[in-house]
Amino acid sequence: MTSQQNHPGEQGPAEASASQGEDLAALLNRLVAEKPDKTPKDLATEAGISYPTLNAWMRRARGTSRVQPDTLRALVRTLRDDWGLSVTPAEMFAAVGRAVPGGADEEREGRLLKLFRQLPIDRQRDVVRYAEAQLTVSRTS
C-alpha cells in the first residue's frame, strides 16, 4: 500500500491539522473569538487579505498548504500588534503544517526574484547595478 506524498512544506487536505496543536481554521476561530468586538471581516481588512479567502480558510473550505509566508506574517502582525492577542509566527506557520521560514536564503532569493520580475527593464538594470556596487563595497570592507 502506498500513500500520497506531498511536496515539502505542503499539508494534506484542508481538514488535516498541523503536526502539533491547531490547524489554521481552529487557530483563527479561537483568536477571533477572543476579541468579541472584532469580526473575521475586520481581520481580513486589517491584514490585507480578501475576506472570501479568509472565510474559506476559517470554514476549512479551502486548503491552506499554499498560503504565502507574507500572508501568515500579516495575520500575526494584525492579531498580535493591532488586536493585542498572544500569537507567534511559529504558531501560525505550524497551523498550516510548516516551519517558520526565518531568513533562509531560498526564501529571501525567491522574494527578491518575484519583486525583480515585476519591475520594468530599466529598473531591473538599476537593481543589478546597485547589487554590483554593494558587492564591490562589501569586498573592500
Do residues 66 and 118 both lie within one domain? no
Q: Is residue 11 part of a domain?
A: no
Highest mean pLDDT among 5-14, 91-100, 115-124: 115-124
- Residues of the domain holding 131: 105-140
**pLDDT score, position 140:** 84
d(CA 76, CA 71): 9
DSSP 37-67: T--HHHHHHHHT--HHHHHHHHTT-S--TT-
For residue 13 the three cell numbers come to 487536505
pLDDT score of 78 more than 70? yes
**pLDDT score, position 27:** 95
For residue 63 the three cell numbers come to 486548503
- pLDDT category of residue 30 using cuts at 50, 70 and 90: very high
**pLDDT score, position 99:** 77
d(CA 96, CA 98): 6
Least Cα distance to 97 among 59, 64, 55 occurs for 64
Do residues 34 and 90 both lie within one domain? yes
Do residues 85 and 133 both lie within one domain? no
**pLDDT score, position 21:** 75
Do residues 91 and 54 both lie within one domain? yes
Do residues 60 and 30 both lie within one domain? yes
Highest mean pLDDT among 3-7, 18-22, 75-79: 75-79
d(CA 112, CA 132): 15
d(CA 108, CA 33): 34
pLDDT score of 17 more than 50? no
For residue range 44-69, list pLDDT tens digits in order. 999 999 999 999 999 999 988 889 98
Work out how many domains the chain is built from and give that number: 2
Q: List phi, psi (to 5°) of 63.
A: -65, 155
Do residues 38 and 61 both lie within one domain? yes
pLDDT score of 7 more than 60? no
**DSSP one-letter code for 6:** P
